[in-house]
Amino acid sequence: MKKILNQIVKLLPHATLILAVIFITFLILDQYNPMMNFVNNDTSMKLLGAFCILTLINSGIVIVKNINLE
């Protein structure tokens, strides 16, 4: 069980980074072609929700690790 949690902790920053790059790309593409509606659709909203949740989890893990280092 601990091995699985360690794998998740290692993958979490990568997933957060990938979602951040996706949203930066969506924002750039939406500026060039607003008719494509990259930012205001259901898929983007679901990805944004996943990004927010992953970021909160990742931040919590980093905070706990920093507290344990002190």
Distance, CA of 65 to CA of 70 (rounded, Å)? 9
**Does residue 65 surpass a pLDDT of 80?**
yes
The reported pTM is: 0.77
pLDDT at site 3: 87
pLDDT at site 57: 93
Task: Note the pLDDT tens digit of each residue in 12-59.
Answer: 889 999 999 999 999 899 889 888 888 888 888 899 999 999 999 999
Residue by residue, DSSP assigns 1-70 as -HHHHHHHHHHHHHHHHHHHHHHHHHHHHHHH-GGG-SSSSHHHHHHHHHHHHHHHHHHHHHHHHHHHH-
